[in-house]
């Protein structure tokens, strides 16, 4: 998993509440178990019409936000079913941080396992960042994980809370497998000892 230390990029405003996982990645795209290739399907029912043409009004279709790395959204983001394809699609599009007043628990947990930082902030802070994000290509926001700080285009900053263990995993690029591999020396030592004690196994 790619490390998350500092992220600077355009923030896209998605001023909607209760954005569920079916909106993020519709069910017809769930057949794959690959984590790549889903970026084009992100928010597909809002991004494309029935003929597959882009809908001009949708935020990620606007030229200023096509390379967005941060998404500023409304409360209860990621609700609905527990599909891990939702963070996969966000990550494949290029979004590595989602900022909202609140998140659905399963989606929130899945973000950390896939290298995405979900930041929950008070509504007034999200409103300020949403306003910043409306600036289009000038909506450059920096997310500093180590110092748990978000800096807006005017230089103003907001701090955020984060569980230390989740922060450690993101900062060092550790998913569940990576965490296990950190203990590889101890695992190898145990296996060697077990083989000597029970050679018949």
Residue 152 counted as domain residue = yes
Residue 1 counted as domain residue = no
Mark the ranges of the chain whose per-residue pLDDT is less than 70.
178-184, 188, 192, 201
3-state secondary structure of 10: strand
| Backbone angles phi and psi of 119, in degrees to 5 | -115, 120
Residue 79 counted as domain residue = yes
The DSSP H or E segment spanning 196 is helix 184-197
CA pair distance 170, 70, nearest whole angstrom:
16
Question: Quick one: DSSP state of residue 154?
Answer: T
* The pLDDT of residue 195: 76
* The pLDDT of residue 53: 96
* The pLDDT of residue 201: 64
pLDDT tens for 121-179 read 999 999 999 999 999 888 899 999 999 999 999 999 999 999 999 999 999 999 777 66
Contacts of 110 (CB under 8 A, 6+ apart): 82, 84, 86, 87
Question: What residue numbers bound the domain in which 26 lies?
Answer: 6-174
Q: How many domains does the chain have?
A: 1
Residue 67 counted as domain residue = yes
* The pLDDT of residue 179: 66
* The pLDDT of residue 197: 79
CA pair distance 159, 146, nearest whole angstrom:
11
CATH number of the structural domain spanning residue 158: 3.20.19.10
């Amino acid at each position: 998993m790619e490390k998350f230390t500092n992220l600077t990029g355009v923030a896209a405003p998605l001023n909607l509440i209760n954005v569920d996982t079916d909106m993020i990645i519709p069910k017809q795209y769930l057949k794959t178990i690959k984590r790549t290739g889903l970026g084009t399907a992100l928010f597909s029912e809002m991004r494309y019409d029935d003929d597959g043409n882009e809908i001009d009004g949708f935020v990620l279709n606007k030229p200023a936000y096509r390379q967005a790395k941060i998404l500023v959204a409304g409360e209860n983001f990621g609700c609905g079913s527990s599909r891990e394809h939702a963070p996969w699609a966000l990550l494949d599009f290029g979004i590595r941080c989602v900022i909202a007043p609140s998140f659905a628990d399963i989606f929130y947990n899945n973000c950390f396992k896939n290298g995405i930082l979900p930041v929950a902030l008070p509504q007034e802070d999200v409103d300020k960042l949403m306003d910043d994000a409306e600036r289009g290509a000038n909506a450059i926001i920096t997310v500093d994980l180590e110092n748990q700080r978000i800096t807006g285009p005017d230089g103003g900053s907001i701090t955020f809370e984060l569980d230390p263990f989740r922060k450690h995993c993101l900062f060092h690029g550790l998913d569940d497998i990576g965490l296990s591999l950190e203990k590889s020396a101890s695992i190898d030592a145990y296996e060697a000892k077990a083989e000597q004690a029970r050679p018949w196994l």
